[in-house]
Homo-oligomer: A and B are copies of this chain.
Amino acid sequence: MGHLLRIPGPTPIPPQVTQAMAQPMIGHRSQACKDLIKKITPKLNRVFGSASDVLVLTGSGTSALEAAVVNMTDPGDEVLVVVTGAFGGRFASIAEAYGLQVHCHDIEWGKAADPSHVQDHLKQHPGIKTVFLTHCETSTGVLNPVSEIAKTIRKVSDALVVVDGVSSVGGAEISLDKDGIDLLVSGSQKALMLPPGLAFVAVSERARKVIEHVQRPRFYLDLRKYCGNWNDGQTPFTPALSLLMGLDEVLDMQLEEGIDAIFQRHLIMRDMTRAAMKALEIPLLTNEVDASTTVTSVKPTAFDAEAFRKTVHESFGLLLAGGQQHLKGEIFRIGHMGYCTPEDILETIKRMEAGLKKMGVPFESGAGLEAAERKWKEAMHA
């Protein structure tokens, strides 16, 4: 039985991407590198739904969150961070580390933010210059309605909208331009099917102007250095070239499948996963409306989440993620993004049922698999 990595990132790498990353090394100031970046650029713009620059940084996803904070704000700026889980919390921690006046809008973990409540915050605090949002909150499997939130913000405020799309871009519907986002950041190791090591920052025209005027000291993550060079096929510092070679292949795969088809596939995988959990009578953390298309959080009551994770991993090679912070031990998380198909979801459910059986948890054998298959068939005939 093969190893099955079903955590919400890092995610499995498609074989053709692995192959692309094995190409011989090139110079980062060579024509070959410029050509590679120029091939990547328009494709990356389509995936981020952005007509303006989508910059590529070498770093973990957190480097892109920090780039957003240090390039969009000066110390003392009043900002709102909408916190729906651990990664919203990380935005708040970075903002606090950099001396911002931080308003946190804390939502119960497992629930999405309500656009009207975000709007209320902005009405009460008209000094807020920037709002930090998380699209998919990886720690809970919640997909926040960032498009609606951005629209609602615009009605009462000129505040800039910064979105963490680390575990959503390429797996959930999001577009810098259409959704009225000013800065959209992401990472390589989630729905973008690459190893970790690249971070992305899509910059709107409005954000570009702010970045130019921010005085805060910064160097490696200074987006001004990236904006000026990207369209000439240059990066300010030596980029992670093997990952760029892989990115070129990933983007080809994504555009061949089609952006809408990718969103649809992720929607089906979410629905299959949720249907299976319901059929197995294992409670879900999030409701239908708030559930992400890229990761599902499950909150078992009849068995221990950590013991279950250990069983499916050791006996059936299935790696699921645990909960973070106060949800540690309370939930487990199933990643279904990137290089993942409905067939992979069936295999996941199969191994989960095997795990339940091994643990002696009473359940209707095959019910999860059947429910997932039914959901898939329904979606195919819809």
Contacts and interface: CB of A to CB of B under 8 A. Distances in A.
Given A66-B219, A196-B240, A237-B61, A3 B24 contact: yes
A220 to B, nearest CB: 5
B22 A220 contact: no
A72 to B, nearest CB: 15
Interface stretch (A91-99, A113-121, A206-214, A250-258): A91-99
A94 B240 contact: no
Nearest to A197: B240
Contact of A62 (B99, B196, B237): B237
Interface string A205-242: 00000000000011111100000000000001111111
B62 A59 contact: no
Given A219-B66, A220-B62, A11 B25 contact: yes
A319 interface: yes
Interface stretch (A26-34, A39-47, A340-348, A357-365): A26-34
A11 B98 CA distance: 37
A69 to B, nearest CB: 8
A13 interface: yes
Contact of A99 (B13, B99, B217): B217
Contacts of A24: 3, 5, 12-13
A152 interface: no
A204 interface: no
Given A62-B237, A63-B59, A219-B97, A243 B7 contact: no
A134 interface: no
A264 interface: no
A217 B240 CA distance: 26
Nearest to A67: B220
Nearest to A319: B27
Nearest to A335: B27
Interface centre among A13, A197, A220, A240 (most CB of B within 10 A): A220
A243 B217 CA distance: 30
A126 to B, nearest CB: 26
A83 to B, nearest CB: 16
A188 to B, nearest CB: 9
A321 interface: yes
A22 B23 CA distance: 11
Contact of A7 (B3, B27, B94): B27
B30 A217 contact: no
Contacts of A147: none
A24 B93 CA distance: 33
A238 B199 CA distance: 11
A219 B28 contact: no
22 contacts: A3-B24, A5-B26, A10-B25, A21-B21, A21-B242, A58-B58, A58-B197, A60-B239, A62-B220, A62-B236, A62-B237, A66-B220, A97-B219, A97-B222, A189-B241, A195-B242, A196-B239, A196-B240, A196-B241, A220-B221, A240-B240, A242-B243
Given A10-B28, A242-B242, 18 more contacts: A3-B24, A5-B27, A7-B27, A10-B25, A10-B26, A10-B241, A11-B25, A12-B24, A25-B195, A60-B237, A60-B239, A61-B237, A63-B220, A93-B219, A94-B219, A97-B222, A197-B197, A197-B242
